Amino acid sequence: MIPRSAAIPKTPSWQRQMARSFTRLSTLLEWLDIDRQKLPFECDDSSSFPLRVTLDFASRMRNGDAGDPLLQQVLPLQQESAVVDGYSQDPVGDMNAAVSQGVFQKYNGRALLITTAACAIHCRYCFRRHFPYQQQHLEQQLCDQTLEKLNVPDISEIILSGGDPLTLNDQRLAQLLLQLKQLPYLKRLRIHTRMPVILPSRVTPELVEMLRTFPLPVTIVLHINHPNELDKRVATVLHQLRHSGTHILNQAVLLKGINDSSGVLKELCEKSFDMGVLPYYVHQLDKVHGSAHFQVSRERTLELEEQLRKTLPGYLLPRFVTEIAGENSKVPINLFNH
Ligand SMILES: *Cc1c(COP(=O)(O)O)cnc(C)c1O
Ligand code: SF4
């Protein structure tokens, strides 16, 4: 007789944990001991971009503190529905850069793949929150037509993006990597993900091994905005990833009330470096509809960059950049005037 456990394919525990994320505001607030009546702002239970956060990430929020910098990143506010001049659905012109379904090329040498629409967290300021994922993510397997588009001398780096590419299971990732490693012009692979921080259990031994054996250099670009996002568990999985030979960088988004202070940014750069992560970018927020209340002024951003420059060694100083539709790279904020 076949044992029951052998007949049913086992769902990895990280997928079960992801399914158990907080998706209801009342449950999250109750769990954090926060009285909704006392919140200084109105929340929106019925947002079309609903609340989503893992237990891991929520456990790093401070109990009873409605102003917590991690909580602020996920709380759906009424304010998001405000229509603000200059804010739009596709502020960075991504839609104009599609070369094939799920494949975008805006910059020389690099193609970005929208591997999935799923994320383990819904970040309120996300520039992809209005993205038409249904039409614009890759199919299960890269089709011949897509592979043909990627198989050109001009594409030496492929960036797996989304959504979050590490929400794909190991099998799907393995399939994708197998297809990519057959591209003769490819020199580098990059993975843009929040998963090692949002759901550390996603970093399975199988994933680490897959990255270790990939024949090209692999860079993981994380997205950490505040030092409180980092704890011992995150440190452990980042160490495992580093051990597999991957480079790890971080891009943060500058967010009003969350990390718009030189003290917080300095601590973020130093603490992540302690865990093997090099600061890469601090992005000025893209003007996506619903995010205006997070915007930090250009003057303040320049001031923060200057303060950091004075306190950190050069290699720990992230590049402060903005994205301008039609430009062929991210643009250093001090070069951009408007
Ligand atoms: C940001 C981005 C990249 C990567 O840019 P780097 O400056 O190399 O990190 C590539 N493609 C698209 C569409 C991007 O938005
Ligand atoms: S993890 Fe990244 S893609 Fe997903 S909601 Fe957050 S910022 Fe957007």
Question: How far, in Å, is the centroid of ligand 2 from the Cα of 286?
Answer: 13
95-335 falls under which CATH superfamily? Answer: Aldolase class I (3.20.20.70)
Spatial CA neighbour of 284 closest among 113, 125, 131: 125
Checking if the pLDDT of 322 tops 90, the result is yes
Both structure tokens of 5: 């456990």
pTM of the model: 0.95
Contact by Cβ (8 Å): 106, 117: no
- Give residue 9's pLDDT: 66
How far lies 281's CA from each of 204, 224, 253, 326, in Å?
27, 11, 8, 19
For ligand 1, whether the C-beta of 159 sits within 6 Å is: yes
Question: How far, in Å, is the centroid of ligand 2 from the Cα of 164?
Answer: 7
Instruction: Find the helix or strand (DSSP H, E) in which 279 lies.
Output: strand 278-283
Query: Given the DSSP bridges, would you call strands 331-332 and 319-322 parallel, antiparallel or unpaired?
Result: antiparallel
For ligand 1, whether the C-beta of 106 sits within 6 Å is: yes
Spatial CA neighbour of 101 closest among 59, 62, 132, 68: 132
208-233, pLDDT tens digit by residue? 999 999 999 999 999 999 999 999 99
Question: Which of 112, 187, 223, 321 for a ligand 1 pocket mutation test, highest count of atoms within 8 Å of Cβ?
Answer: 112
- Give residue 8's pLDDT: 63
Least confident interval from 138-142, 194-198, 233-237:
138-142
Spatial CA neighbour of 196 closest among 292, 272, 95, 289: 272
Going by alpha carbons, the residue nearest to atom 7 of ligand 2 is 126
**Ligand 2 atom at shortest distance from the alpha carbon of 194:** 1
Question: How far, in Å, is the centroid of ligand 2 from the Cα of 55?
Answer: 17
Checking if the pLDDT of 6 tops 70, the result is no
User: Domain ranges in the chain?
Assistant: 4-81, 95-335
Q: Report the 10 Å Cβ neighbour count for 337.
A: 6
Query: What b-and-e string marks burial along 19-38, b requiring 16 or more CB atoms within 10 Å of the CB?
Result: eebbeebeebbeebebeeee
The rounded mean pLDDT for the chain is 93
- Give residue 140's pLDDT: 72
